[in-house]
Amino acid sequence: MKIKAGIIGATGYAGAELVRILLSHPQAEIAAISSVSFEGKPLSEVYPSYRTLCDMECGTQEEVVEKSDVIFAALPHGLSQELASQCAAAGKRFIDLGADFRLESEQEYQEWYGCTFLDQELHKKAVYGLPELFRDKIRGKELVANPGCYTTGAPLALAPAVKNGLVSTKGIIIDSKSGVTGAGRKPSQGNHYPELNEGFHAYKVACHRHTPEIEQTLTSLAGEPVTITFVPHLLPVNRGIISTCYARMLEGVTFEQVRKAYEAFYKDEYFIRLLPEGANADIHHIKYSNFCDISLHYDARTHTLIAISAIDNMVKGAAGQAIQNMNILFGLDETTGLKLVPPAF
C-alpha cells in the first residue's frame, strides 16, 4: 500500500516542488493538498505545467490531515506549531519545511523569528532532518524539522572538517548565493524582474535568520560552540545555492588529510558528490536534483580550507530533502523517488 502524502501550502514554490517529485514516487501518492490563497481551485490552474498530471483541487488543512499518513507543511514560520499538534494527536507524521521546529533554543527562536514555543514537549520530540548528518536520530520519529536551503548547503560543505577537528571553530566565514525562488512566490520589490535582472547583491548582511541554525548544526558536530560570519546574496537566477565556506586549518593539518576526511565521511552518501581536485561546484550541474556537489580548495598562503557546495534550493534545500526524510520515516531507501537527473545544459 502506498504512503498517503498530504501537502499544506501546495501552491507555494516548495509545495509545488513537493507535488512535482511525489508524482513520480513509486511508494507514495498525493492524498490531499491545501492552499489558503487558492482554496477550491485545481493545482493545475495555478501551475499549468501540472495539467492532467495533478488536477486535484486545493482543499482545507483539516482535509489534508484527515486523508494523509504524512503531512508536509510548506508554510512561513509561525504557522506550523498548531498543525504539528493536530497531527501528533491524530497519530500522523509531520514534516515541517518551515522554521518552527528547527531551533532547539526558544530564546534564539524568539530573538530571530519573534515567536515562542507553544508546546515545549512537542519541540522536544522534533528532530532536525538533515539526513547525511543526523539520519540515526530521524528514524522512528513522528516530527521532522526539515532544514532550509542555506542551512543545508553550508553545513554539508563544512561537516567533515568540523567533525574531525581539522579546522578552527573560530573565524568561519560562509558566503552564500541563492536563486530568487528562495524568497518565496509572493512578489516583492527585491525579486521584481527589473530590480533583480543584471544585478547581484548581498542582503541581510550578518543578520540572516539562518545564522543560528547553521551554528547549531556545526556546534553539534564540533562538540564546542561555533560562531560564524554568514552573508547571503541574491543571484538573478531561479534555482540553486552556492556556498563558499572559509575555515582556517589547524596547525599541522594538511590538505591531503582534509581531502581524505571528506572522502571517508561521504563515501556512502548517494546525494553527496565530492568533486575531483581542480573541479569547482556549480549550481548548473545540480539543478532539479537532490544532489549536493562539494569541491575542496586550499589557500596555502593563509592555510585556509575553502569548501564550496552547490545545491538546488528547491530540491535538496527544501522538497527533495523533505521526501528523503519521509523515506527514512517509512523505512524506504532514501533515494526512492529521488534519483532525479540534472539536465546537462
The string of DSSP codes covering 218-276 is HHHHHTS---EEEEEEE-SSSS-EEEEEEEEBPTT--HHHHHHHHHHHTTT-TTEEEPP
Q: What is the DSSP string of 112-132?
A: HHS---S-HHHHHH-EE--HH
Residues 110 and 24 in one domain: yes
Answer for the pair 290, 338: CB distance below 8 angstroms, yes or no. Answer: yes
DSSP 8-state secondary structure symbol assigned to residue 177: E
DSSP 8-state secondary structure symbol assigned to residue 58: P
Residues 76 and 161 in one domain: no
Residues 79 and 95 in one domain: yes
- Going by C-alpha positions, the residue among 324, 287, 285 that lies closest to residue 132 is 324
Phi-psi region of 251 (alpha: psi -120 to 50; beta: other; left: phi over 0): beta
Residue 56 lies in a domain: yes
Checking if the pLDDT of 186 tops 90, the result is no
Report how many domains make up the chain: 2
At residue 307, φ and ψ (nearest 5 deg) are -110, 125
123-174 pLDDT, tens per residue?
Answer: 999 999 999 999 999 999 999 999 999 999 999 999 999 999 999 999 999 9
Kindly provide the residue ranges of all beta strands, DSSP E only, lying in the chain, ordered along the sequence. 3-8, 28-34, 70-73, 93-96, 127-128, 143-145, 172-178, 201-202, 228-234, 241-248, 272-274, 292-299, 304-311
Residues 128 and 173 in one domain: no
Checking if the pLDDT of 192 tops 80, the result is no
Read off the C-alpha cell for 256.
Answer: 591531503
- Going by C-alpha positions, the residue among 174, 247, 244, 240 that lies closest to residue 210 is 174
The per-residue pLDDT for 183 is 72
The per-residue pLDDT for 337 is 98
Residue 341 lies in a domain: no
Residues 171 and 276 in one domain: yes
Looking up residue 163, the CATH number of its domain turns out to be 3.30.360.10
Residues 139 and 176 in one domain: no
Residues 262 and 206 in one domain: yes
Residues 268 and 216 in one domain: yes
**Helix crossing, 150-163 with 211-222: angle to 10°?**
20
Residue 97 lies in a domain: yes
For 70, the domain range is: 3-147+316-329
Residue 241 lies in a domain: yes
Checking if the pLDDT of 22 tops 90, the result is yes
Residues 183 and 254 in one domain: yes
Q: Which residues are catalytic?
A: 149
Checking if the pLDDT of 190 tops 80, the result is no
220-231 pLDDT, tens per residue?
Answer: 999 999 999 999
Residue 90 CB neighbour total at 10 angstroms: 12
Looking up residue 136, the CATH number of its domain turns out to be 3.40.50.720
**Helix crossing, 131-138 with 150-163: angle to 10°?**
90
Residue 342 lies in a domain: no
Residues 200 and 166 in one domain: yes
- Enumerate helices (H) and strands (E) in the chain, giving the number of each: 12, 13
Checking if the pLDDT of 263 tops 80, the result is yes
Checking if the pLDDT of 194 tops 90, the result is no
Residue 44 lies in a domain: yes
Residues 133 and 263 in one domain: no
Burial class for 238, CB neighbours closer than 10 Å (0-12, 13-18, 19+) = middle
d(CA 102, CA 90): 22
34-71 pLDDT, tens per residue?
Answer: 999 999 999 999 999 999 999 999 999 999 999 999 99
Mean pLDDT score, 296-306: 98
Least confident of 22-36, 146-160, 169-183, 272-286: 169-183
Looking at every residue in the chain, the average pLDDT score rounds to 96
Residue 160 lies in a domain: yes
Residue 338 lies in a domain: no
The per-residue pLDDT for 231 is 98
Mean pLDDT score, 103-130: 95
Residues 135 and 48 in one domain: yes
